[in-house]
Amino acid sequence: MEQDLQLQLFQHLKNKLPEHLSLVDEVASVLELSNDSAYRRIRGEKPLSLDEVYKLCIRFQLSLDHLMNLQSDAFLFSGTFVKPSDFRFDQYLQGVLQQVKYMNSFKEKKMYYLCKDIPLFHHFHLKEIAAFKHFFWMKTILQSPDFAKKKFRFDDYSSEYFELGKKSLECYNGLNSVELWNIESINSSIRQIEFHHESGVFESDEDVYILYEALERLVSHLEQQAATGNKFDISDPSKIYPGSYQMYFNEVILGDNSILAVLDGTKTAFLVHNVVNIIYTRDVRFTENAYEHIQNLMRKSTLISSVSERERARFFKYLRNRIASRKQNLKV
């Protein structure tokens, strides 16, 4: 590999790493070399082989097209497809947790979330909501045979899953976050509950009522966070987390559950597809385009956290009314 380009590659990798990680240690680990051999490559004394360049690009999600200023319509994404046949929810949650832990390792960290549905992290404020969302995924999205004839019961939900999810929520609460909501963000969850209720999946209307009550409690919690601009524990408001909370309301444009993380100036885009699959990229052209799109959405939205009390009250009143109207139809 040409020396100037090699030096440029390692400078780019260094800029992508959190401050507490050593470039030489990471390179030595990826290339299975001694630290001395890694140093010689970093300093340009030893040319990188094509295989070594490939390994570094895969590990650090680097596009050689961008590095070499090549014009291309391709974007490099990473991710795995969820296979219903061998899906394990605990492993999925572990993957989410590790990703958010990684984000928290940076000094400057901010997450932008376009909310088509209630963000995944918020499911774990309350066990009732987490239990239902897990059931919905397994029965309706992944069509697990174990759930084919299964009725929904709160007690069937694993405490291990909930604790893993709560850890992810706590990590999320350490990030400065911007959430862009639409009135449909709550409607998708309501429709999921309605569908399973009409399908006879709930053992009683009382369980549906309990779930709507939990949804109301979550809405109230999010409203309180929006009012203060802070994140805090739903059971203990005195437990305030370091991450700031910004909420925007857009009346026209529906989000797609995509996420953009900005970590010490480096942007990573996460795309959610088929509900549970996640792919991500650090491609500069893609992430810059995503960032500009989000900034444009924010300019066309109303900030309802810390300010705009009237608009905030109107938005959350709508959410509560949607839930209340469903509760009134129940026979409890």
Residues 110 and 172: their CA atoms lie apart, in Å, by 10
Reported as half-sphere exposure (CB side, CA atoms, 13 A), residue 255 has a value of 34
Compute CA distances 29 → 36, 38, 283, 299, 329, whole Å.
Answer: 12, 9, 23, 43, 60
Lowest mean per-residue pLDDT among 127-141, 163-177, 222-236, 279-293: 279-293
On whether both 109 and 42 belong to a single domain, the answer is no
Q: Do 290 and 250 reside in the same domain of the chain?
A: yes
CA 278-116-154 angle, to 5 degrees, is 80
Residues 330, 117, 242, 223, CA torsion sign: negative
Band of residue 321 on the pLDDT scale cut at 50, 70, 90: very high
Tally Cβ neighbours within 10 Å of residue 21: 11
Q: How confident is the model at residue 197 (pLDDT cuts 50, 70, 90)?
A: very high
**What integer pLDDT is reported at residue 151 of this predicted model?**
94
Q: Among the listed ranges 193-197, 240-244, 281-285, which one has the minimum average pLDDT value?
A: 281-285
Out of 22-36, 130-144, 274-288, pick the least confident.
Answer: 274-288
Boundary-marking domain end, from 11, 39, 67:
67
pLDDT at 38 over 90: no
Whether residue 34 is found in the same domain as residue 139: no
The answer, yes or no, to whether residue 282 has pLDDT greater than 90, is no
Is the same domain home to 62 and 91? no
Check whether residue 146 and residue 254 sit in a common domain. yes
Six token digits for residue 104:
């928290």
Query: Binning pLDDT at 50, 70 and 90, where does residue 1 land?
Result: low
Query: What is the pLDDT at residue 319?
Result: 94
- pLDDT score for 6: 78
Q: Tell me the HSE value of 175 on the side-chain side, using a 13 A CA sphere.
A: 28
User: Structural domain of residue 254, as residue ranges?
Assistant: 78-328
pLDDT for 72 beyond 60? no
Lowest mean pLDDT among 13-22, 117-126, 178-187: 13-22
72 vs 146, residue with greater confidence: 146
Alpha carbon distance 40, 126 (integer Å): 52
Residue 216 to residues 55, 128, 224, Cα–Cα distance (Å): 48, 12, 12
Q: Is the pLDDT of residue 160 over 80?
A: yes
- The pLDDT > 70 percentage for the chain reads 95
In a domain, 72, yes or no: no
Judged by average pLDDT, the poorest of 20-24, 103-107, 135-139, 317-321 is: 20-24
Domain CATH number, residue 22: 1.10.260
Asked if residue 291 belongs to a domain, the reply is yes
Closest CA to 190 of 216, 170, 171: 216
Note whether 276 and 81 are within 8 A (CB): no
91 located within any domain: yes
Say if 256 falls within a structural domain: yes
Please report how many Cα atoms fall inside a 13 Å half-sphere around the Cα of residue 233, on the Cβ side. 9
Please write the tens of the pLDDT for every residue from 253-271: 878 899 999 999 889 999 9
Distance CA 247, CA 101 (A): 22
pLDDT band at 73 (very low <50, low <70, confident <90, very high): low
Nearest alpha carbon to residue 267 among 242, 288, 251: 288
Cα-atom radius of gyration of the chain, to the nearest Å? 22
Looking at the structure, tell me whether residues 15 and 42 fall in a common domain: yes
Query: Does position 70 have pLDDT exceeding 50, yes or no?
Result: no
Q: Are residues 88 and 41 in the same domain?
A: no
Q: What is the pLDDT of residues 74-99, one digit of tens each?
A: 677 777 788 877 889 999 999 999 99
Residue 332: per-residue pLDDT: 62
Does 59 map to a domain? yes
Judge whether 156 lies within some domain.
Answer: yes
